Amino acid sequence: MKPGSSFDIIDKIHMKLRSSIFLLLVLGGVFLSAYYPQADPKEKEGVIFDTLLTILDRVHFNPKAIDDEFSKEAFETFLKYIDYGKRFLTQEDIDAVQQYELLIDDQAKMRDLTFFNASMDRLDAGFAKSKLFYEKIIKEDLAEDAEGMIELDSDKKEWASNDAELEEYWRRSLTYDYISDIYELRKAQEDSDEAVVVSDEDLAEEDAKLTEEEIRTKAKEKVEERWDKFFERMSKLRRSDRFESYLNTFTHIFDPHTDYYNPKEKQDFDINMGGKLEGIGARLSSEGEYIKVVDIIPGGPAWKGKELEVDDKIVSVMQDGEEPVNVVGWRTDDAVQLIRGKKGTIVHLKVKKKDGTTPSIRIEREEVIIDASFARSVIIDIPETVENIGYIKLPKFYSSFERKGGNSCAEDIKVELEKLTAQNVNGIILDLRNNGGGSLNDVVKMSGLFIEEGPIVQVKPRDKKPYVYQDTDSSVQYDGPLIVMVNSYSASASEILAAALQDYNRAVIVGSNSTFGKGTVQRFFNLDKAISGAKDMKPLGELKLTMQKFYRINGGSTQLKGVVPDIIFPDRFSFVDVGEKDYDFAMPWTEIPPVPFTQNVFHIKNIEELAVNSQARIATNDQFSLISERAQKIKDDKDKSQYPLDVDAFASVMDQSELDSEKFKDLMKDSLDNLSIKNLEVDLEYINLDESRVARNEDWIDGLYHDIYVEETLLIMRDLISSNGDGASVIKTPQGNRG
């Protein structure tokens, strides 16, 4: 795989921040009085812009002065958002809109979109111009021995000074893709030659091997296919897409987690958080002019009907009793809006099958449960070393915020704890690795499952004293040894739970150098409810707004610094910045006074000894040593952003990189034969309901059998049990058959 590509994700920074890790406050809220926007109500952009800026000023935790300094930041940030790869605009284009650099703040106060409009005119012209450059260059012979280097890091690149330089940028960019594909095709052919066992038939098929000329032809075809699709996707971007980037230029200067969501994005957010949707139960993506089925969700209506299949291409969508709508050439998100619908309603999909037939498929929409995001548990042993340990995986702090009786991860974790305690487990591992957060209410309830009662987190609103979220339930769901696994992508609600249990000395926290470092609280504001009138323009979308910061009960914030585990494991990001500190405009770390807290359920003893023992094991573990070496290589590769445009020189660089990486190819691929992992018997009926659930469960357990972090955590659990009691608990046996 090539080290980088000029074929960047469209709007890389914007998408990175739009997918940023979140935490929502759903208890209480701030009521924003209705007001009449100054902008012309017939202009939807003006209404949205005015409403958004007003809410930011009135409600954001740390409001920014919209002044000349803000204007300069907005100017630079927006240009990054609309042309991150610096492949459309030139310095001449930048100079043409430079007059607005210190006027954006004044325009914002007037709800004036002059800079946005001028930028769009330049971008549209730049896109058309670059498409012509591409179409011209791709018809020519691409060089495989060009001189010099290409810079792949857009932050390090300068804008092309004029059109001639921009055309040369495209030539070098396409050349890089071309030599990269030549290298990969050659490499793939070499690898296949080494893997095949030669027979008489193989000798007869020698002509099947690609010649050098055929490799060049195929490489160019791959480049053309890739960039044709790129320009096709770019051509489908609407003014509204770019306007949302402009809005988020403003929101992200306030902080990276304040975002504008159009109505479709908000719906997707709710589905992601709740783990439920009403529809047909299929995942879709675009392929050329078609919307293609890429996955069928087990248990959903499409899965039950057995007619819709992966790789089916959707030609038209028809609601019961209405005319069909041809969706060829549509954006995926627009087609999805037609296909989703309320439970019990009917949709008819005309699809193009792989065999060329085009049947019409009738599907009754239902509530679809996306269960891969939910909490689940198993029991893991290292026989004769540490046995009968409960393991719970929580992928995110999900909650159906707006539906009574919706999913709640706190309730689900409570159920998992009940099942594990019924098995008389010796200890429990709660895995929050890569858990990006979610519901604040649920994390407070969940933390309370492990203590009698007391404060969990402090929340400070803007210009007000902090208040404390308390666990008020004196009951304890689990009172035994507890370890919480985290990594650098454990964020927000994950950090609250880890911090609270660490402060209470209730659990051992193990994982990366630190967690993500997101210590802010967001709430959604529906723009429709914030203004009066403008009914013909609604829905206007919603604003996810940072309106509070949270603090540990010991007074420190997790913002920026994250939670530092009691026992640190090496991981692939040990030497690079990830998380909140990698964001532009991240809010600073601060602290407030602590609050009193205590618990008498279970206290960790000898944490220093546990850490010393773990580090000694890690130091002598070849796999962990390789992880540390890989982390250093990742840092070195990240720092390296220039590559030669001569295919032989490029091959030399890549061959050396592959040689350096050879030692890592089998990292964490060996099964840990000393582990024993079993599902709980009570879960087997649900798992065995269909083959896809069985397959997903087997895949999950197989992953655990290869996870050396889980193995080391089990050994820490052994030490924890031994150091916190008389050792008798180590030999407790489960109640009944574990399955």
**CATH label of the domain that carries residue 713:** 3.90.226.10
Strand order in 386-393's β-sheet?
Answer: 567-568, 508-511, 482-486, 427-431, 386-393, 376-382, 676-679
Token pair in block for residue 738: 């574990």
Q: Which of 222, 254, 286 is the last residue of a domain?
A: 254
Same domain, 352 and 389: no
pTM, to two decimals: 0.81
Question: Domain for residue 174, yes or no?
Answer: yes
CA distance 480 to 730: 12
Consecutive sets of 10 residues in the chain, 739 residues long: mean pLDDT of each? 44 36 37 44 78 93 94 96 93 96 94 94 96 96 93 91 96 95 89 52 54 93 89 86 92 94 67 60 73 76 83 86 80 81 88 77 81 86 96 88 66 96 97 90 96 97 94 96 96 96 98 95 88 79 92 96 97 88 92 96 95 97 93 86 94 90 85 94 90 82 95 97 62 33
Question: Domain for residue 13, yes or no?
Answer: no
**CATH number, domain containing residue 319:** 2.30.42.10
Same domain, 104 and 217: yes
CA distance 564 to 499: 9
- Helix (H/G/I), strand (E/B), else coil: 711: helix
In angstroms, the Cα distances linking 362 to 284, 370, 604 are 17, 22, 58
Q: Which residues contact 543 (CB under 8 A, 6 or more apart)?
A: 52, 55, 56, 251, 258, 259, 260, 261, 524, 525, 527
E-strand stretches of 303-450: 313-319, 325-326, 346-352, 360-364, 366-369, 376-382, 386-393, 427-431, 438-439
- Helix (H/G/I), strand (E/B), else coil: 463: coil
Same domain, 381 and 347: no
How far is C-alpha 227 from the chain's CA centre? 25
Q: Which of 221, 254, 287 is the last residue of a domain?
A: 254
Q: What's the confidence (pLDDT) of residue 696?
A: 80
Same domain, 240 and 346: no
Same domain, 322 and 186: no
DSSP 580: G
Token pair in block for residue 496: 């609250």
Question: Domain for residue 567, yes or no?
Answer: yes
Look at residues 413, 120, 91, 69 and name the one whose alpha carbon lies nearest to residue 241.
120
Same domain, 666 and 560: yes
Q: What's the confidence (pLDDT) of residue 726?
A: 44
Question: Domain for residue 7, yes or no?
Answer: no
Structural domain for 217, as ranges: 64-254
Question: Domain for residue 470, yes or no?
Answer: yes
Same domain, 594 and 465: yes
Question: Domain for residue 32, yes or no?
Answer: no
Question: Domain for residue 538, yes or no?
Answer: yes
- DSSP secondary structure string, 149-185? EEE--TTTPPPBSSHHHHHHHHHHHHHHHHHHHHHHH
> In terms of DSSP H, where are the helices of 423-553?
440-447, 493-503, 527-530
Same domain, 284 and 236: no
**Considering Cα of 119, then 122, then 128, then 134, what sign does the dihedral take?**
negative
CA distance 11 to 679: 43
Same domain, 402 and 490: yes
Look at residues 497, 457, 492 and name the one whose alpha carbon lies nearest to residue 594.
457
* 369 within 8 A of 400, measured Cβ to Cβ: no
Q: Which residues contact 658 (CB under 8 A, 6 or more apart)?
A: none
Counted residue by residue, the chain has a size of 739
Q: At what angle do helices 622-639 and 647-661 cross, to 10 degrees?
A: 150
Q: What's the confidence (pLDDT) of residue 33?
A: 42
Question: Domain for residue 5, yes or no?
Answer: no
In angstroms, the Cα distances linking 284 to 230, 287, 312, 508 are 18, 10, 10, 42
Same domain, 649 and 673: yes
Instruction: Please state the domain count of the chain.
Output: 3
Same domain, 224 and 125: yes
Q: Which of 369, 403, 425 is the last residue of a domain?
A: 369
Q: Which residues contact 154 (CB under 8 A, 6 or more apart)?
A: 8, 12, 84, 85, 86
H/E element holding 511? strand 508-511
Q: How would you write 254-289 as a 3-class SS string?
A: HCCCCEEECHHHHHHHHHHHHCEEEECCEEEEEECC
Same domain, 672 and 694: yes
Q: What are the two backbone dihedrals, phi and then psi, of residue 613, each rounded to the nearest 5 degrees?
A: -60, -40
